[in-house]
Amino acid sequence: MRRPIIAGNWKLYKTVRETVQFIEQLKPLVQESKHCDIAIAPPFTALARAASAAAGSNIWIAGQDLFWEKEGAFTGEVSAPMLADAGCQCCIIGHSERRQYFSETNDMVKRKTQAALAAGLMPIVCVGETLAEREAGDTNRVIRIQFEESLNDLTVQDFFRIVIAYEPVWAIGTGRTATPEMAVEVHKQIRQLAQQRFGAEASRELRILYGGSVKPDNIKGLMAQVDIDGALVGGASLKPDSFASIVNF
């Protein structure tokens, strides 16, 4: 049985003070939530304080991105060991906003995923098609290429340690959620790709999250699908009450 994960991606929101306040408010709302793993991804500046605030609770702290080198002359970058040092347990990698605004490629996603694994972080690797790709009937091809180019080089052992988030780009921040059936179709495809490359057990164990306008009022329908193992939540993760009601779906 796969354990669900509900993760909040804060993107470019919240100061250190707001982060600590959020975590203090969230803790009592989810302390009895034993049915899933819970993660929050604040901006880099707030990670260390977030980790201290979450220490001893059931809330994991995630980076939103990382750079694949451990250290060096790479102005502005943050490495996987630095995230681990700040108290992170996981890291979002290859979010569509990184691909769209910061020119991230599948090859970069691959290097970042490997760096996260080497530092002991759980990568949450994002894949998803744009509206134009979906309308052109290209969704399956796009997902397959993202999967193959960023994940096929992992070892089976490492593949067991990753999580994949399917985030259709057209559903992010638009209020336009994929229907559970649409999401499931792609989740099934991802599980099939995992089986072909990494085997039946790795595919069975793989947790695949859905992301894109997940809200308290649509989480139940999504989580009712056997192939949806959780959610990566943007806007609705910014308020403790709404994030907690998603966690406690």
Residue 166, Cβ neighbours under 10 Å: how many? 28
Residue ranges that bind ligand 13P, judged by CB under 6 A:
9, 95, 167, 172-173, 211-214, 232-236
User: Which of residues 4 and 211 has its CB atom nearest to ligand 13P in the complex?
Assistant: 211
Q: How far is the CB of 238 from ligand 13P (least distance, A)?
A: 9
Q: 91 forms bridges with which residues in the sheet?
A: 63, 123
Q: How far apart are the first and last CA of the chain?
A: 18
Angle at 109 between CA 157 and CA 43, to 5 degrees: 105
DSSP symbol at 27? H
User: Which of residues 28 and 173 has its CB atom nearest to ligand 13P in the complex?
Assistant: 173
User: Which of residues 123 and 211 has its CB atom nearest to ligand 13P in the complex?
Assistant: 211
DSSP symbol at 44? G
Main-chain phi, psi angles of 28, to 5 degrees: -65, -25
Return the structure tokens found at 235. Answer: 């806007």
CB-nearest residue to ligand 13P:
234
Of 61, 25, 68, residue with least CA distance to 45: 61
User: Which of residues 159 and 212 has its CB atom nearest to ligand 13P in the complex?
Assistant: 212
Active-site residue list: 95, 167
Q: How far is the CB of 5 from ligand 13P (least distance, A)?
A: 13
DSSP symbol at 3? P
Return the structure tokens found at 134. Answer: 């979906």
Q: How far is the CB of 207 from ligand 13P (least distance, A)?
A: 15
User: Which of residues 82 and 209 has its CB atom nearest to ligand 13P in the complex?
Assistant: 209
Q: How far is the CB of 221 from ligand 13P (least distance, A)?
A: 15
Q: How far is the CB of 218 from ligand 13P (least distance, A)?
A: 10
DSSP string, 120-185: T-EEEEEE---HHHHHTT-HHHHHHHHHHHHHTTS-HHHHTT-EEEE--GGGTTSS-PPPHHHHHH
